Structures are given as C-alpha cells and as structure tokens.
A = this chain, B = another copy of it.
Amino acid sequence: MRDYSIGIDIGGTKIAGAIVDRQGNIIHKRICETPSESKERVLQVLANLVIEFHQLVEKENIRLVGIGVGSAGQINFNEGIILSGTDNIHGWYHVEVCDYLKQFTTLPIFLDNDVNTFTIAEYQLGSARGIENLVCLTLGTGIGGGVIAEGSMLRGEWGGAAELGHMSVNMYGPSCNCGSRGCLETYASGTGIANRMRERLQNNDSLADWEVALYRKNQRSITSKDVFEWKELGASIATEVAEEALQALAYGMMNMIHTFNPTAIILGGGLIDGNRDLVPAVQKRVSKLGMASLVQPVTIRSSSLGEDTGLIGAALQVWM
C-alpha cells in the first residue's frame, strides 16, 4: 500500500483539496468556492473535504498518513492557527484550523502559509529538488518568501519567519502597508509596480505626446503587466518603474544571499509566470552586487511546477 496525504489549499476565491502521493501525483481532487460570509462556513468546507476524502479512501484501500493545509497570510505554525489571511473572508483571523479539523480525523494535521507550501513543493519535487539552502520568492499581488536552511524550513519562534516581501531595500522609500518604508513589496510586487507607475504619472508633465497617449488609461486600472508592455515600447516612465522594480528585487535578493548563504533562489508567482524574462534580467543584476564568495555560486531559477503547486505543497508538508 502506498502512502498518500490530503492536501488543502485555502484561497480567497476557491478552496482546493486533493489526495496526493509523495511524488506529487494527484489521485482525487475537489474544488469548492470559498464561502466569504463567515469563517464557520469556510471551516465547514474544510471538514467536508476531510470527511469525503476519508470515505473515498476506505473504498480504495489506500493508506492516508496525514493532512496538510496551506493558506495565505500569517500562520502560527506551532499551534496550527491562521492569524490573518485574505480579506475576502469575513472574520478570517485567529482561525484554529488544526484544532477544528481534529474533530474529523485522527491523522496528523499541518498548517502553513502558501509560500512555505510552495517552497516545500519546489524543494521536494521542483526546480530546487534537493537544494538544502534555498530561498523562494513568490511575486504576485504581494511578495512572499520561504526559506530552506540546511534542509529544514525556516520558521522562527512561531512560524512568522521569511516575510521577505517586507524586507526594506530603501529606508527612504515609499510607505508600505506594514508600517515601514521601501519594502521589496512596494517596488516589485504587482501592486507595488502599479502604484509606482501611478505615482510617476501624477508627478510628470514633460512627456512626449506618444507616451502621454500610451498611458491614456484609467489610472486605477493600471497593472504591472501594462508597465512591462509599455517598457517594451520604450516608454520612459514605464521603463524607469520596471528598472526600479528589477533593481529593488536584485538588492532584496542580494540581502537574502548575504543572510542565508543559499545555492539557489527560486522565483515564482504571477509576475514571473507572466514574464519569464524577468529571471535572467534579475540574475544579471544580482551577479554584479555584494560579496562575490556568497553571490557568485547562487543559481536563480523560475519555479517549475504548475498551477497545482500550492495544493501539492500543502500535501507534501506531511513528508517535510
């Protein structure tokens, strides 16, 4: 009998569950809408998934060895509590996920944030297989980090470590919603890039006509994708914003290299999936910065696993 794990990935719009083996193969998968009205409803969805998967398994005579749950936000890993997560679910803070699910199973249950589960997936099965000193960054709406140090997930005191999107690379930089300034997220996340673009448009009145015409879009709807497209067309402000994002990312990554002495950094998330050219562009910049003994041996790669990375990574916690 092979060992299987139940993986559950809690997102703001959908909750995915699957039965997964150690090689990341999914044999059953369920997708449910995330009920946004209350945390009780969300917990009910999780319980139903656990109950259903247990029933499926009885019929099929396979062995389940644990349950791994992944969620956005800050997680108290030791106690299995979501401290804060998506704003999309009403009252979604201090959610005692592990204690709640224990009512429905005797399996061990693990809860971690979705960047750590992404990191586990990349470490066990993906671009970073077997790399014992590893930094993963997910670049999307925000920026998340996960770190493997000498083969173990870096968690710190309660599981809050590796908030690498909130590493400041400019103490005089733009305000961040974390209460600091110049966090990596303010320059190189989707939201950050769009914000920096809007800011420059508001403070610039000496543009060529063609560039003004290019930017003639509802400013509120500007995305990082727009910025990178405008840069390709040679637009000056978009180029500045994109270059600054790359530079901030390079400085953040150099800081992480000086901090962790890793051999690889894996970049993932929407921004990277939509623009794989970012990886060599940032590699080039990083290689010119910092202490050669630490920086030169580091490989920078994009993530190699597909859309189910979070779900599979959640399940893989059982074997981490």
Contacts and interface: CB of A to CB of B under 8 A. Distances in A.
Q: Interface size class for chain A?
A: 35 or more
A67 to B, nearest CB: 23
Nearest to A167: B255
Given A154-B260, A261-B160, A262-B156, A170 B169 contact: yes
Interface string A232-271: 0000000000000001100100110011111100000000
Contacts of A150: 152, 155-156
Nearest to A247: B171
Interface stretch (A2-10, A191-199, A292-300): A292-300
A172 B173 CA distance: 10
A34 interface: no
A184 to B, nearest CB: 10
B294 A160 contact: yes
Contact of A179 (B159, B169, B182, B288): B288
Copies in the complex: 2
Given A132-B157, A179-B288, A255-B255, 9 more contacts: A149-B154, A155-B261, A160-B294, A161-B259, A161-B261, A163-B258, A167-B255, A169-B170, A180-B254
25 contacts: A74-B293, A83-B293, A133-B157, A149-B149, A149-B154, A150-B155, A150-B156, A154-B260, A155-B261, A157-B262, A157-B263, A157-B297, A162-B259, A163-B258, A163-B259, A163-B261, A166-B290, A166-B291, A168-B254, A170-B170, A171-B248, A171-B251, A172-B172, A179-B292, A180-B290
Interface of A: 74, 83-84, 132-133, 149-150, 152, 154-164, 166-172, 178-182, 247-248, 251, 254-255, 258-263, 288-294, 297
